[in-house]
């Protein structure tokens, strides 16, 4: 097995719900990021064996295999470069990175781009359940009798509440976590920590004027315990609100992965080595506990401990998720989501896994850290987790 390295990593700023990215089409958004990720290392795109793209709502502009339409919408890639779209719900683009790693490690491919792209504000949560069959009957849903009789109808907000209840996490703790996420994301933005990883993108302001934006749009630095207190509680929950949830957003990101031999033959510098990957299934009713089990699994594979990790990116789908993870694994809160997470920065679901990896690698390099662990909970109860080493 060959070691696998990430040699380039870039992302768009995250756009808020119907925000500055609203006029982009998904293939053009992805194609722009693909062009940039190869431009940064002066890589001939014809060298790319495949583009493995994570997208959850594979309908409309995101349908017809966005991995491939992104290549065709790019300015630099020849049409000899193929593409594929994968879906592991919110873990999709971290799974894309894991799959790319496996293909390279086994010698099946030399150069693979793993990416994520989701225009969630156009194709929002459950977009793939709407519509009708050719008979005019409703599309149907994937949760048949077999599912609902065992687990009930899937409800992530309910899952977040059940996790808060089971791990004894209070509304106040969730609100404090949310406030801190916004503060950390705001400070990281002000200090320019995200500058290296972000590709400035053209878009539209509220009034429809053309703008170029190089910062994440959803961050609310004015968030306080008081402003969070008054928000409407979401259905089926006792205290989950929009303020302690990740937000509906748009974005794309990509990394170039290579075998060590290919990297050396192209005289490229490594950004990070992929140390180990794991994926787990977890209780579909609680739905969002996967990172609690994926973390020890991937640490064991890597023969490393929690203390060896310099930073953790555990996706902030809802505040109780990283808080339960912290409690269960007795982790150091100072190492968790050091520049904020999806509560502040948004969660364009299929994009988030790759976005977290792009941010983790750039942050490890900035602080001269060595190891970072990235994991996300997913719909249906799963979690991929991967450890990266900055060299
Ligand atoms: C939670 C959710 C339903 C809320 O949607 P929404 O109501 O459109 O959210 P909004 O952004 O409009 O926020 C609702 C209100 O809260 C306010 N709000 C949100 N965050 C706030 C903050 N940090 N501080 C103060 N107010 C805030 C908004 O201003 C808005 O107020 P308004 O109604 O007076 O305009 C949506 O964000 C969601 O579905 N999130 C989870 C996505 C998801 O499931 N992802 C997958 C997870 S695995």
Question: β-strand 111-119 against 249-259: which pairing, if any?
Answer: antiparallel
Average pLDDT, integer, range 12-20: 98
In this prediction, residue 60 carries a pLDDT of 96
Average pLDDT in the 145-169 region?
96
Instruction: State yes or no: pLDDT of 131 exceeds 90.
Output: no
90 Cα nearest atom in ligand 1: 48
Rounded to 5 degrees, φ, ψ at 13 are: -65, 150
Q: How high is the pLDDT of residue 262?
A: 98
How large a percentage of the chain has pLDDT more than 70? Answer: 100
Which atom of ligand 1 is found nearest the CA of 89? 48
Q: Find out whether the beta carbon of 33 lies less than 6 Å from any atom of ligand 1.
A: no
- Please state, in angstroms and as integers, the Cα–Cα distance from residue 363 to each residue in 96, 323, 372, following that order: 21, 22, 9
Whole-number Å distance between alpha carbons of 108 and 390: 24
Q: What would the two tokens of residue 355 be?
A: 């976005």
Tokens standing for 156? 């992530």
- Confidence category of residue 27, pLDDT binned at 50, 70, 90: very high
What is the secondary structure of 329-349 as a DSSP string?
A: HT--GGGBSTT--HHHH---H
Give the residue, by CA position, lying nearest to ligand 1 atom 40: 247
Which tokens belong to 143? 């949760």
Domain segments of the chain as ranges: 274-390
Name the residue at shortest CA distance from atom 21 of ligand 1.
243
Encode pLDDT of 205-237 as tens digits. 999 999 999 999 999 999 999 999 999 999 999
Contact 333, 180 (CB under 8 A): no
Which atom of ligand 1 is closest in space to residue 315's alpha carbon? 48
Q: Fill in the DSSP letter of residue 379.
A: T
Enzyme catalytic residues: 90, 347, 377
pLDDT at 16: 98
Residue 293 pLDDT level (bands cut at 50, 70, 90): very high
Instruction: Give pLDDT, residue 158.
Output: 97
Q: Is the CB of 347 under 6 A from ligand 1?
A: yes
Q: Is 317 in the pocket of ligand 1 (CB under 6 A)?
A: yes
Ligand 1 near 248 CB (within 6 A): yes
φ, ψ (nearest 5 deg) of residue 171:
-60, -40
Q: Is the CB of 245 under 6 A from ligand 1?
A: yes
pLDDT tops 90 at residue 325: yes
Å from CA of 348 to ligand 1 middle: 14
Q: Which pLDDT belongs to residue 36?
A: 99
Q: For 241-285, how does the pLDDT look when each residue is reduced to its tens digit (9 = 90+)?
A: 999 999 999 999 999 999 999 999 999 999 999 999 999 999 999
Confidence of residue 169 (pLDDT cuts 50, 70, 90): very high
Give me the pLDDT at residue 130, please: 82
Instruction: Indicate whether residue 156 lines ligand 1 (CB < 6 A).
Output: yes
- 53 C-alpha to ligand 1 centroid (Å): 27
**Could you give the CA distance from residue 9 to residue 353 in angstroms, rounded to a whole number?**
13
Q: Where are the beta strands (DSSP E) in the chain?
A: 4-11, 15-16, 50-54, 83-86, 111-119, 201-204, 210-213, 249-259, 272-281, 311-314, 371-375, 382-390
Q: Which of 221, 222, 242, 325 to mutate for ligand 1's pocket (most ligand atoms within 8 Å of CB)?
A: 242
- Show the tokens assigned to 51: 């583009």
Task: Quick: pLDDT tens for 173-194.
Answer: 999 999 999 999 999 999 999 9
Q: Is 352 in the pocket of ligand 1 (CB under 6 A)?
A: no
| Cα(360) to centroid(ligand 1), Å | 25
Q: Provide the token pair at 146.
A: 């077999």
Measuring CA to CA, which residue among 97, 39, 175 is closest to residue 356? 97
Write the residue with the smallest CA distance to atom 9 of ligand 1.
242
> Is the shortest distance between the CB of 34 and ligand 1 below 6 Å?
no
What is the assigned CATH class of domain 274-390? alpha beta
Structure confidence at residue 391 (pLDDT)? 82
Q: Whose CA is nearest to atom 27 of ligand 1?
A: 243
Using alpha carbons, list the distances in angstroms from residue 329 to 166, 265, 300: 15, 41, 14
Residue located nearest, by CA, to atom 47 of ligand 1? 317
Query: Does the reported pTM lie above 0.75?
Result: yes
């Amino acid at each position: 097995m060959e070691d696998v390295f990430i040699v380039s990593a870039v992302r768009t700023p995250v756009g808020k719900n119907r925000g500055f990215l609203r006029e982009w089409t998904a293939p053009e958004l992805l194609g722009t990021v693909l062009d940039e990720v190869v431009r940064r290392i002066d890589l001939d795109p014809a060298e790319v064996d495949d583009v493995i793209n994570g997208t959850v709502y594979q309908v409309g502009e995101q349908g017809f295999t966005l991995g491939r339409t992104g290549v065709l919408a790019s300015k630099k890639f020849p049409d000899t470069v193929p593409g594929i779209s994968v879906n592991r719900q919110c873990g999709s683009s971290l799974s894309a990175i894991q799959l790319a790693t496996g293909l390279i490690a086994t010698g099946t491919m030399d150069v693979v781009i793993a990416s994520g792209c989701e225009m969630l504000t156009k194709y929002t949560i459950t977009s793939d359940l709407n519509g009708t069959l050719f008979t005019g009957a409703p599309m149907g849903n994937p949760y048949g009798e077999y599912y609902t009789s065992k687990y009930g109808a899937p409800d992530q907000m309910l899952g977040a509440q059940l996790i808060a209840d089971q791990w004894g996490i209070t509304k106040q703790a969730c609100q404090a976590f949310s406030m801190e996420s916004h503060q950390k994301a705001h400070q990281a933005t002000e200090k320019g920590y995200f500058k290296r990883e972000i590709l400035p993108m053209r878009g539209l302001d509220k009034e429809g004027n053309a703008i170029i934006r190089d910062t994440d749009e959803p961050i609310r630095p004015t968030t306080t315990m008081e402003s969070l207190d008054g928000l409407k509680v979401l259905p089926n929950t006792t205290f989950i609100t929009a303020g302690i949830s990740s937000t509906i957003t748009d974005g794309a990101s990509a990394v170039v992965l290579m075998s060590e031999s290919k990297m050396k033959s192209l005289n490229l510098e490594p950004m990070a080595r992929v140390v180990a990957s794991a994926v787990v299934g977890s209780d579909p009713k609680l739905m969002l506990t996967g990172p609690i089990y994926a973390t020890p699994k991937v640490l064991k594979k890597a023969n490393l401990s929690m203390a060896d990790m310099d930073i953790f990116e555990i996706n902030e789908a809802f505040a109780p998720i990283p808080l339960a993870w912290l409690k269960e694994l007795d982790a150091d809160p100072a190492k968790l989501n050091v520049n904020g997470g999806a509560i502040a920065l948004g969660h364009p679901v299929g994009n988030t896994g790759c976005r977290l990896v792009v941010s983790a690698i750039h942050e490890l390099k900035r602080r001269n850290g060595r190891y970072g662990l990235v994991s996300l909970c997913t719909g249906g109860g799963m979690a991929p987790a991967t450890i990266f080493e900055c060299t």
